[in-house]
Amino acid sequence: MRKSLVVLAAVLGISAWAQETVQVVAAADLQYALKEVAQAFEAKNPAIRVSLSFGSSGKFYTQLTQGLEADIFFSAEKIYPQLLEEKGLAEPNTRKPYAIGRMVIWLDRSLGLKPSPEALKDPRITRLAIANPVHAPYGRAAVTLLEHLGLLKRRPDVSIPGLKKPFASLSWEEIPWEELTRGVEAYWDASPLRQGKPSFEFVYGENISHTAQLALTATKAGILALSLAVHESLSKPGVYWLSPLGSHLTLEQDYVILKGRKRPEVMAFYRFVESPEARATFKRYGFLLPGEKPE
Amino acid sequence: MDPLFVTALSLSLQVALVASLILLLLGIPLAWTLAFRRFPGKAILEAIFLLPLVLPPTVLGFYVLLFLGPEGPWHKVTGLSWAFRFEGLVFASVLFSLPFALTAYREAFLALDRNLLEVARTLGAPKPKVWAKVVLPLVWPGLLSGTLLAFAHTLGEFGVVLMVGGSIPGKTQMVSIYIYDLVQALRFEEASKAALVLLFLSLAFLVAARTLEAKGRAWKSIT
């Protein structure tokens, strides 16, 4: 009885131990890379702990405007840190790019397909996993990639309230993604690859990591982040085709310190992200570094 | 074991403990009123308390978030910001576990032999004494079983706490969300280990609750 009470007390009390903690919310494509960066940082700064939370950038943006407390926000697209800045929720002059995200078409090895956009026309691929474009940057990039590849066509008759230009004439950057809540199918046609029938239906992931899980366990095909696809949990069971930059919405990834959070330990991690060591880690996971040209 | 799992489990236990204690304090007078009093609008009030049983967790979580958020009424009136915090998780947990506690408490009260209360009162026992000597000894298995149910339900809740708490390790990442995050990170092995722990905990709590209920029934038949 005594012993179990001690154990209970330990379990209940364990979160009370205080240590300098940096609270990080990050885009899900950083799942593996940022974890490594944080570990390297903690190894050098044993007094500081980095607490990581991963999800879709749009979801974190909403939560941050609704009172979620965090020190640093790593977004998968620069629009969200920018909006936080405009709303006065970020520390001024702390928004910086840390990486440029790359995207792949991922296919399950069991399909035996050569990784290429053409593979998506295979009749066995009936469902394609993409991140939800409404709030996940990788989802938006996926839609623009499919459009670029000629696998999706904009519906010409779509009208979006409050929009001056016709939807069909908008550039990728101008598409009001948050307004497109009815799903991609309502705004784009899967191009008639199979005698007038759409070639596949979309399965939306809550964020890019969830999308990877869907591709791995359910759809056998998905448009994923390169930073996840290179990890063994996806590279062993699957193959991928790397989409060239310029073929989709550019995923310029910015990070920012949130308002009132400029503590020394936060600054230390903020700066460490720019260190050669951290940059090398990002690079290893397939990110392009700011200012770098793809080879 | 992964320290994050211990942290998440610890947070869940803390939220569940605080929420079920609040439910005990709140639920006893509520259940008593619902069991014995008659008043207009009682059916509606009962329906409202039972609503979390059938309401989609995201709907409940959404309303709690609106209520607790920076522009919500709670912040306006009290100046407190409870969204994405421990307090918010407890608040939401009290709401979604209320029907579990309330139903069990009310059953316990309804099973009371009213004659015993009459006898105690006619013998001149003051109200607190009637509670201490007659009511509580008879209803405690029911109260405890309801509290255990509420505790176990809080421990496992997912949808509401995801909406209200998000997933900040050590702060709002409860154990169900920790498992969800592991699955999203494709760490299926660790996820299944953590899920197994939760499965056994839930089972243990249910067995305890059922045993107590049976005990309550046995006591009733003795008296």
pLDDT score at A10: 53
Count CB atoms within 10 A of the CB of residue B97: 28
Q: What is the per-residue pLDDT for A263? A: 95
- Map residue A122 onto helix, strand or coil: coil
Q: What is the pLDDT of residue A15?
A: 43
Nearest Cα of chain B lies from the Cα of A12 at a distance, in angstroms, of 5
Contact at CB, A54 and B186, closer than 8 angstroms: no
Q: How many CB atoms lie within 10 A of CB B130?
A: 17
pLDDT given for residue B70 in this prediction:
81
Q: Does the beta carbon of A281 lie under 8 angstroms from any beta carbon of chain B?
A: no
Sign of torsion over alpha carbons B152, B153, B157, B163: negative
Closest CA to B154 of B5, B17, B6: B17
Question: Which chain A residues are Cβ-neighbours of B65 within 8 angstroms?
Answer: 66
Report the gap between the CA of B167 and the closest CA in chain A (Å).
6
Contacts of A4 in chain B (CB under 8 A): none
Cα dihedral sign, A172-A173-A175-A179: positive
Lowest mean pLDDT among A109-123, A171-185, B11-25: A171-185
CB contact under 8 A, A54 and B185: yes
State how far residue A29 is from chain B, nearest Cα, in angstroms: 10
Q: What average pLDDT is seen over chain A?
A: 89
Q: Does B173 touch chain A (CB under 8 A)?
A: yes
Q: Which of B9, B166, B185 sits opposite A209 (nearest CB)?
A: B185
Question: Residue A207 and residue B184: Cβ atoms within 8 Å?
Answer: yes
Question: Which ipTM score applies to this complex?
Answer: 0.70
More confident residue, A182 or B140: B140
**Chain A residue nearest residue B177, CA to CA:** A53
Of A198, A74, A212, A196, whose CA–CA distance to A142 is shortest? A212
- Whole-angstrom Cα distance, residue A91 to residue A259? 5
- Across the interface, whether the CB atoms of B84 and A210 are under 8 A apart is answered no
Is pLDDT above 60 for A18?
Answer: no
pLDDT in tens, A31-46: 999 999 999 999 999 9
pLDDT category of residue A160 using cuts at 50, 70 and 90: confident
More confident position, A4 or B15:
B15
Segment A101-125 mean pLDDT: 93
Question: How would you classify residue A195: left for phi > 0, otherwise alpha for psi between -120 and 50, otherwise beta?
Answer: left
Residue A197 has pLDDT above 80, yes or no: no
pLDDT grade for B216, boundaries at 50, 70 and 90 = confident
Residue of B nearest to A23 (CA): B168
Output the pLDDT for position A16.
43
Give tens-digit pLDDT for B41-88. Answer: 999 999 999 999 999 999 999 999 899 988 899 999 999 989 889 999
Overall average pLDDT of the A61-75 stretch: 94
The confidence score (pLDDT) of residue A14 equals: 46
Mean pLDDT for the stretch of residues A265-271 = 97
Rounded to whole angstroms, the Cα distance separating B101 from B152 reads 11
Q: What is the mean pLDDT of residues B202-207?
A: 94
Nearest CB neighbour to A67, from listed B70, B171, B181: B70
Q: Tell me how far apart the alpha carbons of residues A103 and A240 are, in angstroms, rounded to a whole number.
A: 10
pTM for the predicted model, two decimal places: 0.82
Q: How far apart are CA B162 and CA B57, in angstroms?
A: 9
> What pLDDT was estimated at residue A7?
54
Does the structure show a pLDDT above 70 at B200?
yes
Model confidence at B168: pLDDT above 90: no
Q: What chain B residue is nearest to A68 in terms of C-alpha separation? A: B84
| Nearest alpha-carbon partner for A80 in A177, A160, A145 | A177
The answer to whether B198 touches B156, Cβ cutoff 8 Å, is yes
Residues of A in contact with B14 (CB under 8 A): 12, 15
Using the Cβ of B1 and the Cβ atoms of chain A, whether some distance falls under 8 Å is answered with no
Facing A55 at nearest CB: one of B11, B167, B187: B167
For an interface test with B, which of A36, A39, A53, A62 has the most B Cβ atoms less than 10 Å from its Cβ? A53
Residue of A nearest to B85 (CA): A68
Count the residues in chain B.
223
Q: Which region among A86-95, A148-157, B23-32 has the lowest average model confidence (pLDDT)?
A: A148-157
**Distance of residue B43 Cα from the nearest chain A Cα, in angstroms:** 35
With CA atoms as reference, report the closest residue to A223 among A186, A252, A249, A188.
Answer: A249
Mean of per-residue pLDDT scores for chain B: 91
* pLDDT the model gives residue B88: 95
Q: How far is A53 from chain B (nearest CA, A)?
A: 6
Task: Out of B11, B85, B166, name the one closest to residue A15 (CB).
Answer: B11
Please, are residues B50 and B128 in contact by the beta-carbon 8 Å criterion? no
